Amino acid sequence: MKIEVQSRKLVKPCTPTPQHLRIYNISLLDELNPSMHVIRILYYHHNPPLNNNAKPLLQDSLAKDSLAKVLPLFHPLAGRYVKDTHVVDCNDEGAEFSEALVDFDLLHLTAGPNSTESEQLNNLLPLDIAADPADPMLAVQVNTFRCGGLAIGVCASHRIFDSGSLGIFLAAWADVASRGNGEFVLRAPDYFGSPSSLYFPSENVDPLDFGVSKTRDRSIVGKRFVFDKTAISRLRHRNGSIPARGPSRVMVVSAVVTQAILRADRAKNGGSKAALIGQAINVRERTVPPVPKQACGTWAALSYLECDPSERAGVESLVGKMREAAMRGVEDCGRILSDKEFGRWVMVDSYLEAAKKADRPDYKAIWITDFSKFGEYQLDFGFRKPVWVSLASVPLKDHIVLMNTKENDGIEAWVYLHESDMPFLERDEVLTSML
């Protein structure tokens, strides 16, 4: 898949950032995030416009114009990180915007889970996933395929954004773009009105080391496993052990893939390791007082559980344990902001404790993130909705990311393992029989 970047420029906000918003303070939660970008790639078939106001994204530079219009609402994304003081200088330097041509047909790329390697998709992104302090806070690359289809690759700095924030931004940008050249009135939520720095101020600490390297680590490989509606229904009703109104499809798929990774590890290394299973929890709207649904920044907590090396629990048992851990995590959210000491434990100390245990050789840590609730298949930039939304090759070992299928009734499990571990997972007969 040959890709040639045709242009690269900076898009500045259409209105300058007010002086009182010039400095954006990052939080301790932001500081602990690994030095990387949160990413998304949106794919669109070539379609004629639906009406006069719904022009193709590239026509009349609509992508750049709409980006310039939405950036005032997300002013830190047009700024630059200042490493010495751990702040973002919202200087309106701009977001990076690139246009590229792809000598490939989009249909071949979206044909199925085995149609392309995840590493090939990194070329559709404007930046390496591993971040450098000098990188723009936001970068976009619009890729035009030879068939006329598009792929919009987006990178936002994990220094100020979690994945929920990226979903919020993309929804706002699509809303502006879909209006065409019509007048855009800035009537929107205060996306940065509830920063986590108000409750967890910066402590000038270094990011946690999750092995993210500026040089692309090719020893970490990605694989996409697609569980369609039928497969999930079969899992939920298998032997009647998982009730239909019980755990969500995300929870069931998480448990199935986690169990397969643990089996693969035992097949390769023996069964002497304890398992640590970490699940990210979006705390927005779950705190007291509530963090707004549209709040940007880092608003994610970690709930984790440990399993003894001797345990060989079935799927239904692991689902139950993971569900209980997640429910405890959600319940804990209510005290995060009202109880300072407890809030620090939930949002910071438990995260550090889990990361410390994960470094031990007698633990197998698996990290799970759910991207399925961000509504990205509704992102219409004015020329219909995406035919696929993907990640790429992410240098985070033993990581599972769950995403929706286009039909919104299946789950794509993006699994990232060391290259020596992945063959054991791919040969796992229990997992492959469930797909």
**Active-site residue, from 89, 175, 339, 380:** 380
DSSP state for residue 279 in the 8-state scheme: E
Distance, CA of 74 to CA of 188 (rounded, Å)? 11
For residue 71, give both structure tokens: 């950036």
Q: Which residue has the tokens 């697609």?
A: 226
For residue 314, give both structure tokens: 């079935």
Q: Is 190 an active-site residue?
A: no
Distance, CA of 15 to CA of 64 (rounded, Å)? 14
The runs of H, that is alpha helices, within 86-244 are 106-109, 118-121, 163-177, 229-236
β-partners of residue 27 are 201
**Active-site residue, from 128, 158, 265, 399:** 158
Q: Is 158 an active-site residue?
A: yes
Cα 21 from chain centre: 27
**What are the CA-CA distances from residue 152 to residues 86, 149, 183, 347 (Å)?**
30, 10, 24, 32
β-partners of residue 97 are 9, 140
Contact 167, 375 (CB under 8 A): yes
Count CB atoms within 10 A of the CB of residue 179: 17
Angle at 406 between CA 37 and CA 216, to 5 degrees: 25
Residues carrying an active site annotation:
158, 380
